Amino acid sequence: MAKHNWQVIKDEYVQAPDEKSRPTLEQLSAKYKCSPSYLQEKVAKENWKIEAERFVQMVSDKRQEHKLTALAGDLAGWDTQCFNLAKGGLNLIFQQINEAIEGTRRSGDPLSSKQLDELGKALQRFQQIGRTALGEKEETHLNVKIDYSNLSDEQLQRLAAGENPCHVVAA
């Protein structure tokens, strides 16, 4: 029967989470009252140092994995918040367009092209925020001027309701 529990000694040496916390061979031989030279031979023969390096690397990899998982969770939460804010912004723009249509009906004064352009730009910004939050790549931006002055009230309402502009104009 072995005088020393070598597995316990080996585990204490190999399973240190980093180099700084690993006991030296001198510390282990003093703690377990074993021969320093025999311990050194055993460490060399059984490759404890290599096992210890692998263990430290494994611990480091796991820590990095946990950090990445936590960061991914934080970023997903951020994306959800941005997406919800974009949806809220889009709803406000739709509401403003509907109110503008109603105001035009009551007063007979159409929205200025500047007002329509501002609403369109705000709509575009909120759409981009939402797309980015969903992970879509940024699109190439084209400078396109949209002239809403030729659209009927019904077409403007359909656009405000979120209908595809291609379908609204084609009708």
pLDDT at 141: 62
pLDDT at 99: 85
The length of the chain in residues reads: 171
pLDDT tens string 17-30: 889 999 999 999 99
Going by the DSSP 8-state scheme, the letter that residue 135 receives in this structure is T
pLDDT at 34: 95
Which contacts qualify for 119-125: CB closer than 8 Å, 24 or more apart?
119/93, 120/146, 120/148, 122/89, 122/93, 123/90, 123/93, 125/89
Structure token digits, residue 91: 């709803």
Structure token digits, residue 4: 């020393």
pLDDT at 1: 40
pTM of the predicted protein model: 0.50
pLDDT at 101: 81
pLDDT at 142: 64
pLDDT at 162: 82
* pLDDT value at 112 more than 90: no
Q: Is 21 helix (H, G, I), strand (E, B) or coil?
A: coil
pLDDT tens string 40-68: 999 999 999 999 999 999 999 999 999 99
Handedness of CA 112, 113, 116, 121 (dihedral sign): negative
pLDDT at 41: 96
pLDDT tens string 120-169: 888 888 888 888 888 887 666 667 676 777 888 888 888 888 888 778 77
pLDDT at 150: 81
